[in-house]
Amino acid sequence: MAKAVGKIVISSESCKGCEICIVACPQKTITLSEQLNMKGYRPAVQTGAGCVGCVTCGLICPEGCITIYKEAR
């Protein structure tokens, strides 16, 4: 069976750094950036491998700023 590999893209200018996606991620692949966006928030970023594309972060994001890509390998 093929293993799913995911990737998320977070709109850094839309993200308010609420950390809900960080708590919701079962793989713990999301953290807050050290950089501030134009509104003064620390946006969420994907860190390292491990994302399986489960879409939990995208569903829970109140701003709708996470796009999930998933592919089988």
Secondary-structure class of domain 4-72 per CATH: alpha beta
Q: How many CA atoms lie within 13 A of 22 on its CB side?
A: 14
Measured distance CA(8)–CA(22) in Å, rounded: 12
**Domain range annotation of the chain:** 4-72
pLDDT tens figures, 24-66: 999 999 999 999 999 999 999 999 888 999 999 999 999 999 9
pLDDT at position 63, please? 95
Report the predicted TM-score, pTM, of the whole model to 2 decimal places: 0.88
pLDDT at residue 4, rounded to an integer: 77
Q: Encode pLDDT of 1-35 as tens digits.
A: 677 789 999 999 999 999 999 999 999 999 999 99
Cα 61 to Cα 14: distance, rounded to the nearest angstrom: 11
Length of the chain as a residue count:
73
